Amino acid sequence: MSSQYPSPRATIFSASKFTVKTLRSWIVLGGAALAIASVAACDNATGNKAQFSIVAVDSQVVYAINSAPRNAPTAVYLASAVTGDAAVSASSDFAFDVAFDIDNTGKAVILPVRAVASGLAGTHSVGLQVVNTPYDSLTFAPNKDFKYDSTLVVSVGQVVVIQSVGSACSTSLYANPFIYGKLTVDSINVGSHTLTLKYTVDPNCGFRSLSTGVPKN
């Protein structure tokens, strides 16, 4: 007469098959959930989600660094754009990316912070690049071909892209620890030693959008 209960060996074998099958299901479901979470959280190549809107200023007057009144804006600091204003004074703490001057031909001189510091203090590297794309048409910053820490002389209307190491962009957290911006000099007044700029900054670490709103990539 056959037993109505499975043997202990059969029970163990059956339980093992169930456990393996269940574990595999958990792994598949867990992997799918992780993939969904990653897509939701990672909207750009760095794996980080943008938190700040693009900052665009249509008219900003800055002074030539060598002829400026005390505490007048003479520089641009991309990281400070989160407060809504990237124009700052090029002070001795070197908390800026580029300062401005006017040469003897009336052209604009863009000076990266290391060019101003001249080795007197430890400062961050800044990349500059002149592009041929019209200012309003440039909606995405390039990620190569920058010239680092070199003075740049530009004419009115030329478009310059800036790449700077963001003060809050840790290399341990961000694959791309840079922030990007674009600017153009709309006019130069040699008599008053001033330049009128237009600039746009993406203050999100690793994002290169130069459009409007909170960037997606």
Q: How high does pLDDT run on average in the chain?
A: 81
Task: Name the CA dihedral angle for 187, 132, 95, 147, rounded to a multiple of 10 degrees.
Answer: -130
At 30 the pLDDT is 41
Nearest 5°: the CA angle 183, 184, 190 is 125
Convert the pLDDT of each residue in 13-42 to its tens digit.
Answer: 333 443 444 434 433 334 333 333 333 333
Contacts with 61 (C-beta within 8 Å, 6 or more apart), sequence order? 73, 194, 195, 196, 197
Taking alpha carbons only, the member of 113, 74, 75, 76 closest to residue 94 is: 113
Identify the pLDDT of residue 212. 87
Domain ranges, ordered by start, for the chain: 1-41, 55-202
The confidence score (pLDDT) of residue 19 equals 43
Average pLDDT of each block of 10 consecutive residues along the chain (217 residues)? 40 38 40 33 58 94 96 95 90 94 98 90 92 97 95 98 82 78 98 98 93 85
Residue 47 has what pLDDT? 64
Q: E strand or H helix at 60, and its extent?
A: strand 55-63
Dig out the tokens for 83 from the structure. 């407060």
Tens digit of each residue's pLDDT (9 = 90 or more) over 152-173: 999 999 999 999 986 678 666 6
Predicted confidence at residue 78, as pLDDT, reads 95
